[in-house]
Amino acid sequence: MENNKTEMAEDAEYKRQLALFVQSSTEKSIELVKVGEVISGLAERNSFLDIGAGGGDLTIPISQSFSETTIVEPNEKQVEYFKRRCPQFNIFNNSWDKINLAGKRFDFILCSHVLYYIPEGRWLTTIKKMYDHLHQGGRIAIVLQSPVGEVARFFNQFTRYDVNILELWGELIRKYGDDNIGVKYFLNEIWTDSLEDMVTIGLFLLIDRRFAEKKESISRYLEANQKTDGGYKLVQDEIILIVKKT
Ligand SMILES: C[S@@+](CC[C@H](N)C(=O)[O-])C[C@H]1O[C@@H](n2cnc3c(N)ncnc32)[C@H](O)[C@@H]1O
């Protein structure tokens, strides 16, 4: 019971951090433009699956292009919100690794900023599970933070962000064929009025809750490196990997 309460409090704090990040970023709007380019190439636009839908900032606008939307989201707080906000969605409170969607298939599968929560050694099998749930002519879009740029430098100050995108890209080409793999790059500009908000975003980006203990040094780093006239700015380089099923 006590554990459950802690998890609920952590889910609520995560929801708050994600909301602040979204509100302070250009990311979701630029990401919607890039994802829109992927969707425009689909053979059909009937079914959409969002893995790790979060606050729904991408899910809700993208759902308008599809007849049916399904989400798989382990965070109970986010799921509660989706049940109220979008009762017409098929909503699964589960993680991608555990969910059994049987023979269900989708035209478009989005997995935006979720792979970090899954050990890197399992990424290819995780993507294979998505591929198995894709209709012929469908596409998967996997959004990841780039290993270069300001956010990557911030990461490397406190932990390691050495996601080997080139290797993942190469493996996807070997597995699904060169013609079926695409890539797009874009920049997310994060801007806050206060150092406190930038520290909250920094902690959100670092993912592991144990970094809360390093709040003081994170604050000093952001003050020294990301302060601009009148606020704080941090640029995140992002990559979309696209897998087509032909
Ligand atoms: C950084 S948020 C991204 C939210 C949204 N996709 C976006 O780009 O705005 C990551 C989300 O992935 C969810 N998540 C974490 N591990 C997951 C897993 N194994 N399977 C599915 N979702 C997961 C989290 O609960 C959270 O809502």
Q: Which pLDDT belongs to residue 105?
A: 98
Q: Which amino acid is at 68?
A: E
- Give the integer Cα–Cα distance in Å for 239 and 146: 6
pLDDT average, residue stretch 181-196: 95
- Give the integer Cα–Cα distance in Å for 91 and 69: 9
Residue whose Cα lies nearest atom 18 of ligand 1: it is: 95
**How sure is the predictor about 15, in pLDDT bands with cuts at 50, 70 and 90?**
confident
Q: Which residues line ligand 1 (CB under 6 A)?
A: 18, 51-54, 57-58, 72-75, 78, 95-97, 112-114, 117-118
**How sure is the predictor about 222, in pLDDT bands with cuts at 50, 70 and 90?**
very high
Residue whose Cα lies nearest atom 24 of ligand 1: it is: 52
**Distance in Å, CA 27 to ligand 1 centroid:** 15
- Give the integer Cα–Cα distance in Å for 173 and 133: 19
Residue whose Cα lies nearest atom 10 of ligand 1: it is: 114
Res 10 pLDDT > 90: no
Q: Which pLDDT belongs to residue 200?
A: 95
**Distance in Å, CA 109 to ligand 1 centroid:** 13
Tokens 């894709």 -> residue: 134
Mutation test residue for ligand 1: of 26, 70, 117, 118, the one with most atoms within 8 Å of CB: 117
Q: Which pLDDT belongs to residue 160?
A: 80
**Distance in Å, CA 228 to ligand 1 centroid:** 30
Percent over 70 (pLDDT), the chain: 97
Res 3 pLDDT > 80: no
- Give the integer Cα–Cα distance in Å for 55 and 59: 8
pLDDT tens-digit series, residues 132-182: 999 999 999 999 999 899 999 999 999 887 778 889 999 999 999 999 999
Residue whose Cα lies nearest atom 2 of ligand 1: it is: 54
Q: What angle do CA 108, 55, 25 make, to 5 degrees?
A: 95
Atom of ligand 1 nearest to the CA of 117: 16
Mutation test residue for ligand 1: of 79, 114, 206, the one with most atoms within 8 Å of CB: 114
CA atoms within 13 Å, Cβ hemisphere of 112: 21
Helix and strand element counts for the chain (H, E): 9, 8
- Give the integer Cα–Cα distance in Å for 7 and 20: 20
Tell me which residue range forms the domain holding 102: 2-244
Q: What angle do CA 60, 62, 64 make, to 5 degrees?
A: 80
Res 5 pLDDT > 90: no
**How sure is the predictor about 27, in pLDDT bands with cuts at 50, 70 and 90?**
low
**Token pair of 156 as six digits:** 């490397």
Give the domain CATH number at 95: 3.40.50.150
**How sure is the predictor about 9, in pLDDT bands with cuts at 50, 70 and 90?**
confident
Atom of ligand 1 nearest to the CA of 97: 19
Res 1 pLDDT > 60: no
Instruction: Please say whether the beta carbons of 191 and 227 come within 8 A.
Output: no
Q: Compute the mean pLDDT over every residue in the chain, rounded to the nearest whole number.
A: 93
Instruction: Please say whether the beta carbons of 162 and 147 come within 8 A.
Output: yes
- Give the integer Cα–Cα distance in Å for 85 and 83: 6
Q: Which pLDDT belongs to residue 53?
A: 97
pLDDT tens-digit series, residues 86-135: 999 999 999 999 999 999 999 999 999 999 899 989 999 999 999 999 99
* Kind and range of the H or E run holding 32: helix 27-39
Residue (of 182, 184, 174) closest to 243 by Cα position: 182
**Distance in Å, CA 196 to ligand 1 centroid:** 24
Contacts with 104 (C-beta within 8 Å, 6 or more apart), sequence order: 70, 133
Total structural domains within the chain: 1
**Distance in Å, CA 123 to ligand 1 centroid:** 14
**Distance in Å, CA 52 to ligand 1 centroid:** 3
Residue 118 DSSP label: S
